[in-house]
Each structure stands twice: as structure tokens, then as C-alpha cells.
Amino acid sequence: MHFLDPILRPKSIAVVGASRQPNTIGWQILDNLLRQGFHGPVYPVNPKAAAIHSIPAYPSVKEIPGPVDLAVIVVPKEHVSAVADDCIEAGVQGIVVISAGFREVGGEGIAREQELVDKLRKAGVRMVGPNCLGIINNDPAIAMNATFAPAYPPFGPVGFVSQSGAMGASILDYAESLGIGISMFVSSGNKADVSGNDLLDYWEHDDNTQMVLMYLESFGNPAKFVEAGRRITRRKPVCVVKSGRTGAGARAAASHTGALAGTELATDALIAQAGAIRAHSVNHLFDLAMAFGNQPLPAGNNVAIVTNAGGPGIIAADACESAGLSVVPLSPETEAKLRARLPEEASVKNPVDLIASATPENYEFALNCVFEDPKIDAAIAAFVPPLGIQTKDVAAAIVRVNERHPAKPLLAVLMGRQGLPAGLAELHESRIPAYIFPESAARALAAMWRFRQHIDRPEGRHVSFDVDDAAVTRIIDATLASGQTKLSEPDALRALEAYGIPTVPWVFVPSAGASSLAARAAAAAGDLGLPVVVKVVSPEVVHKTEVGGVALNLKSKAEVERAVRDMVKRVEAAVADGADPAHREPAKGRTASVIDGVLIQEMAKGGTETIVGLTRLPRVGALIMFGLGGIYVEVMRDVVLRLAPLVDTDAEEMIREVKMFPLLAGARGDVPRDLAALADTVLRISQLAERHPRIVELDINPLLALPSGVRAVDGRIALAR
Ligand code: ADP
Ligand code: MG
């Protein structure tokens, strides 16, 4: 038995706070339970009434003669705790707290919620809410509507969890009119105990539920969301509307990863990593639900479009192509079949244009023809009502085609002329996803195709690398012991090397020494091999280039010597001025000692600059970033984030998802970069994040992607104090 069974499949229900007063919440819940015909006994509890809705009422849960699985609590907030005590005493298994006035109001509401949670945890009683709309299980064998929403969505394949009660109520309302059948609905409210993640787990094994819709305002436990999402989306699609930001807030960060982590990118990351589909509006969520909830997934991405006007055909074709679908030519046989029966003016090439005189019979014939073409995986039927043709008849024709070809998805677009087109309702009732705009249909079909690819891909695997963790621990300990929270550049490079991430060959030349720094640097450069790069090493400098602390492509020892001398002067002046914008509090008065030394690095040639980073957010975890370096990260924010720990497919996806991926894959005849080595580096950073929680920020910027292998050029690592 699952811990949610007593809540979602109860055998008996008590409504505590049931009311005789119509149009109160305590009245509506009881009314809904009875109206829906809940299969077991319902016990109203109200000390002031002998009977409610003609059913005997009880003064307390403890007085109910039979066992109670679920108590729905609708009493004022001050009484919830006492009612919970009664429930525990009476052996109630689960509760739904509708009452508001808890965490959401702040102040003492927070304490009130905590007290309730603690009490229930101790007793092993699980809770949905508080501050919620209630729950529904539409399974005919249960028939439970324990909400106070005046909506009765039909039974169907969609599990729906909403963090907002009001959004939940209106979505349930629309669901019915769009033909979206609901298996279960849970208004999760404050999620003080049962969360959306628990429901993902539960619905994974519920045969009635074939897809999940989530309306979220926050991620309570992002890591668990990713984990639970990953499992259920192996078989069932999960579509998420997430409003608001991640809530974690980016720390004021010196790293690019940190600056980007608090943005929408992080939400995108969590949803993508869970294998879920992000809907950008409630409207979009419905578009997806109609398609996923009613039609099979396409076997491929070849789409046929059948229309009665050129414009919608072209718009639909463009929308399909840009969403990753393919409007392929039909086979010659299909074209010939169409040619033989359609009017001369019709275009029999995909998109098939039946022209304005198209009859319902023309639609039925043409759609059957394209579905009989083995190349075609899915079809979109678009219809603009001309004079004299009944949209409803075309809708009926579309329904007949769908019945004949149930294995291939069929989506309809009915464009209106005066308000909503007629026929839409008929299609929805017949479980044909029907849209008003071609783009919506294309977008929904493309999401189905992506999900098909997602479930066909092998599951990601955790990879673990044999690395020198002890060396990293030593570096971290030594850095913290010296009072610093930022690793020196040589130490950062050493830490990367300990993790098997190759660096461009380098040596560190310290300031302190017998001869001049410049002379020793020149000698070291000679040993390393010219040309070289010289970089300042100083705890005062974060972005070296911005203070003139990087000199590239030095070809002789003399050049190195001069570069070091100039650099020391420049950097000292800049630090004294506080000119490094990343470092707002320069150590005034410190001059000569601000520079620890210089790093001499081999001048690397011919790599593509990428960036790999990590940032640790409170309550979220470590986000790993991959992107293209230079202007792509700074200006275009062309980066992809994922939550650690990553699996191998996460790393591959991250690399493929950056917009400038063609630059890595070998655009315009260029040699492709070593994508496997990039993925390997990303996974090693994920392992570093997992095993060394004291690291809170890390940027490798740039990590050079070469045709063979990668090289870290610049490493920045910050620690928690
Ligand atoms: P910072 O980011 O602190 O300004 P970097 O070490 O990243 O300093 O250097 C700045 C830029 O100089 C790099 O993004 C890269 O384009 C270039 N660069 C740095 N080191 C090398 C090197 N060894 N070989 C080639 N180019 C380099
Ligand atoms: Mg850099």
C-alpha cells in the first residue's frame, strides 16, 4: 500500500467542518462528494448540526462509528490542530486541510503550520495542503470529488497537480470543455507535507494516469523533482507550467555561472532534466494536454498538412519545420491517388491544398490518403470556413479518419471567422486535439515527437571518475587555513588537474625571490617554450583582463620580461584605484604585496572557447553550466544549466542545447570539436560539486575545445567560508 492510498483512494471520508449553509466551503465539499457519488460512506462532522444534506452528522471525528481513511478539514485555522488530534486519536489515515491561514500568511501562520506538520509526522498521518482546494479521484470505482470547485471534469488520462487553488479550479473548468479527461487532481496548497514530487511517484504506477500536468509556483525539493520526473517520464509525459522565479535568488557572484543561476535558465534546467516539458502559459499547457491526452505519439517527424486555403497551409508548414517536424513530399503513389479524385485546381503536394470548395468528403479522402502513405507519421487538418460548407461536417469527417487510423496522431486547426469556430466542441468531444491557430497544433505535435525521442533514448547513467580527491581536499584546507575563500589561480588549475581535466601547460613564478620577477619569468618562459601568455596572480584581482593582467602571445624572453614589468605596474595602479570592477573593496595602501607572482602559460592556438561552471544555491543544489565562452556567454547568455549530479545524457544534452552548437559541431567545413571530451569535463565538474561541497563557485572560462581533447586555460574556484 502507498502512503497516498488512504488520501486518493479512501474507503471512507469525514468532512470536518461540513456546513448546512449553502455556498460555504464546508457545504460545497460535502455536496461535491455526494453529487459525484463517492463509493464509500461520507461522514459530516459538525458539533452544531444533527444532520447535513440529510446525512447524520457527528460532533467529532472520534464519534464516527466506522473507520475513517480520509478526513477533509474545513474548520477555521485555530481549530485545525485540535481536529488533527482527534483524527490521530480516531485512527484516520490521511487528511486534506482546506483551511487557510498557515505559512502563506507568514508570522504565526508559519509556526501554526510547523506545529501541525510535526504532530502529523509523529503520528504517521500524511497531509495534503493546508490552504488548498481539495482533491479528486475520477476513477469510477472511487468517484471522489473532495474539492469545493464547482467543476466536474470527465474521467480521463490526465493527473493534474496545482499549487494554486484558483488556477486549479479554472483549469478543471476548462478541462471539461476541451475534452481533457482527469484521472486525479490534487491541489497541493502549501505543500507542507505531500508535494508534487510525491504525486509524480504515485502517478508513475497509476494505470489510470497516462500524463501529468503540473502548475507550480516553487520547487520545494528540486533534486527530488528531477529524480521523480526522470523516472515517470520514461513512460508518461509530464507538462509543467512554472510561474515565478526559482526563488533561490542568485548570490552576488563573481562567476558567470552564479549570475545566471537565479534566472529562468535554472527553471528550464530542472524541467528539462526531469524529462518534463515546459509549457510557457496555461494556454500552452492545454494545447499540450489535448494532444498528449488524446492522441498516440508519432513514430517519426514526417507530417502531412491538409488544408482548404494556401495561407494556413504555409503557416502550418513553417511552424512545423521550425518546431523540428518535417513537411516531407508525399510519395508519388499518394500524389497520384489524390490527383485522380480531387479538383484540378487542388495542390496534391504537401501541404495538400483542397481549395475553398473543399467538401467534408474531400477532407476525409485526402486525410485517409496521406495516412495510408507509409512515410507519413502524423497529420494536421486545417480548415478555414468558406461560405456554404458546414464546419461541423468537416469535423465529423476528421473524426472518421481518426477512427480509421488510430495509430497515427491527427490534429485539427479550425480557424474561426466570427468568434470561435463551430465544430471545435465536436472535435474536443471526439478526442481530436483542435486548435484555432496552426502554430499551436505544430507546437503540440513537435512536443509529442520530442517526447517520443525522449522515451526511445537510453536512460542516462551515472559515471564516476577515478580522481585525486585528497589533493583537492588539501588545496581547499590550505586555502581556508590562510584566510582566503578564493583559490589562487595555480591552485585552481591544480584542482582541475587532480580531477583529470587537462590544462594548458603552465608554471607559476612567485614574486618573492632572489632576482627580479621579470627576469625569472623570462627564464621560465624559455623553459616552457615560446610563445607564452603571462597572467598576474593576485588575491585582489578577479577578472585579470580588466586590470591589464593578461599578456598574450609573447614570442621572446625579452617580450616576457617587458610584459611582466609593465603588468606589475599596471595591476598595482589598478588595484590601488579599485579599478577592477569585480573587486569593489581594494585593499587601500597595499601596493607591492598585492601581487603574488605571475603565471606563465603556453600560448594555445586553434580551440573554440567554451565555459564550464558550477554554482551552489541554497535549497536547490549545485547547478552545472555549459556554454560558449567570450561574447556568447557575456552578451548572448548562450548557456545551459543542469542540477548535479548529472548523468551522461545530461552532459550530452547540455552541449547540444547551446544555440551556437554548430560552432562546436564543425560549421562551414570547420573541424568538429571533441564533444566527448567536453561532456567528460562537464561530468567531472559534476562529480567535483558532489564530492566537495565546500566549493560554491567554479568557472573554467575558457575551456578550449580542440579537435582532439580540451584544455582549461583559466580556472576560478570559490569556497564557502
Ligand atoms: P580573465 O578571465 O581573468 O580575464 P583569462 O586567463 O581567461 O583571464 O584570459 C583572458 C583571455 O585571454 C581568455 O579568455 C583567452 O581568450 C585568452 N587566453 C588566456 N590564456 C590563454 C592561453 N594560454 N592561450 C591562448 N589564449 C589565452
Ligand atoms: Mg577567463
Question: What is the whole-number distance in angstroms between the Cα of residue 630 and the centre of ligand 1?
Answer: 10
User: By CB neighbour count within 10 A (0-12 exposed, 13-18 middle, 19+ buried), where does 577 fall?
Assistant: exposed
Residue 89 has which C-alpha cell?
A: 486519536
Residues 710, 682: contact at Cβ < 8 Å? Answer: no
Per-residue pLDDT tens for 548-599? 999 999 999 999 999 999 999 999 998 888 755 555 444 444 444 589 999 9
Distances in whole angstroms, Cα of residue 514 to Cα of each of 520, 528, 591, 597: 9, 20, 20, 13
Lowest mean pLDDT among 247-261, 282-296, 336-350, 467-481: 247-261
Cβ of 552 closer than 6 Å to ligand 1, yes or no, is yes
When pLDDT is cut at 50, 70 and 90, the band that residue 78 belongs to is very high
Structural element, H or E, at residue 286: helix 282-294
Residues 257, 623: contact at Cβ < 8 Å? Answer: yes
Atom of ligand 1 nearest to the CA of 544: 3
Cβ of 714 closer than 6 Å to ligand 1, yes or no, is yes
- Residue 589's pLDDT is 44
Per-residue pLDDT tens for 44-74? 999 999 999 899 999 999 999 999 999 999 9
Question: What is the whole-number distance in angstroms between the Cα of residue 701 and the centre of ligand 2?
Answer: 4
Q: Residues 307, 311, 316, CA angle at the centre, nearest 5°?
A: 65
Residues 242, 279: contact at Cβ < 8 Å? Answer: no
User: Who's near 126: CB < 8 A, 6+ residues apart?
Assistant: 3, 4, 6, 7, 93, 94, 95, 120, 193, 194
Q: How far apart are CA 39 and CA 34, in angstroms?
A: 9
Residues 301, 308: contact at Cβ < 8 Å? Answer: no
Cβ of 554 closer than 6 Å to ligand 1, yes or no, is no
Q: Is 478 helix (H, G, I), strand (E, B) or coil?
A: helix
Q: How far apart are CA 109 and CA 103, in angstroms?
A: 5
Question: What is the whole-number distance in angstroms between the Cα of residue 675 and the centre of ligand 1?
Answer: 21
Question: What is the whole-number distance in angstroms between the Cα of residue 400 and the centre of ligand 2?
Answer: 62
A 10 A CB-CB count for 709 gives 16
A 10 A CB-CB count for 63 gives 13
Task: Give pTM, 2 decimals.
Answer: 0.86
Per-residue pLDDT tens for 200-241? 999 999 999 999 999 998 888 999 999 999 999 999 999 999
Residues 677, 500: contact at Cβ < 8 Å? Answer: no
Per-residue pLDDT tens for 684-704? 999 999 999 999 999 999 999
pLDDT at 683 > cutoff 70: yes
